[in-house]
A and B are shown apart, each in its own frame.
Chain A
Amino acid sequence: RKEVEQDPGPFNVPEGATVAFNCTYSNSASQSFFWYRQDCRKEPKLLMSVYSSGNEDGRFTAQLNRASQYISLLIRDSKLSDSATYLCVVRVMDSSYKLIFGSGTRLLVRP
């Protein structure tokens, strides 16, 4: 079983739609959670951190359920520029602080 699992998609939605991505992680020792965005053939860029209380940044809302080991990302009012691959990332609290990446969910926003 993968440490971080995501639906690969693609999610094909019209502009203005609301879309939600889910992610599950297997290591209960995971301490920090993030959503990264990766454009084709580019490096990943931090979209937002995910906190237990849930957090919002403009059109983006992230939620964390530690009991279910589940993370979500909601994008409202989708823009064409939101088309990308969204990576769910966790950090395990050990001495390495390394990041574990999900395989990503691809989003295509059409006009």
Chain B
Amino acid sequence: GAVVSQHPSRVICKSGTSVKIECRSLDFQATTMFWYRQFPKQSLMLMATSNEGSKATYEQGVEKDKFLINHASLTLSTLTVTSAHPEDSSFYICSAPPGLSSYNEQFFGPGTRLTVL
């Protein structure tokens, strides 16, 4: 199957700092990528849809100024958590459907575990 990578896999930072997470599709192009957040023992919650060449679409309740998304190319989307606080500590996962249609099966990255002290 297709491969999606995320970097870093784990990050620990101080409150108030910004953290950038990268999501890359390694062997296919993705015009759309999805960013999820998962708190312990809870479901994956979609945060936003990243669109190559245009603005991201955020889900209700997700602050677009706090979670900055940039989809600079067909293989890279970045999520920046600005001014991170302890409540932002979570497991962040991206996914990407291969091809131009986001209807295709989505492949998930291995996730980034963020801990804000």
Contacts and interface: CB of A to CB of B under 8 A. Distances in A.
Contact of A98 (B42, B49, B101, B113): B49
Contacts of B93: 43-44
Interface string B35-51: 01000011111100100
A4 B46 CA distance: 13
A97 to B, nearest CB: 4
Given A97-B97, A103-B42, A43 B110 contact: yes
Interface range on chain A (Cβ under 8 Å from partner): 10 to 19
Contacts of A53: none
A95 B105 CA distance: 15
Interface of A: 4, 8, 41-46, 87, 91, 96-104
Contacts of A44: 44, 93, 108
11 contacts: A42-B110, A42-B111, A43-B108, A43-B110, A45-B108, A46-B105, A87-B44, A97-B32, A97-B101, A97-B102, A103-B41
A60 B45 CA distance: 26
Given A96-B49, A96-B102, A101 B110 contact: no
Interface range on chain B (Cβ under 8 Å from partner): 20 to 34
Interface of B: 32, 34, 36, 41-46, 49, 57, 91, 93, 95, 97, 101-103, 105-106, 108-111, 113
Contact of A43 (B57, B101, B103, B109): B109
Given A46-B105, A99-B106, A104 B43 contact: yes
B34 to A, nearest CB: 7
Contact of A102 (B43, B97, B108): B43
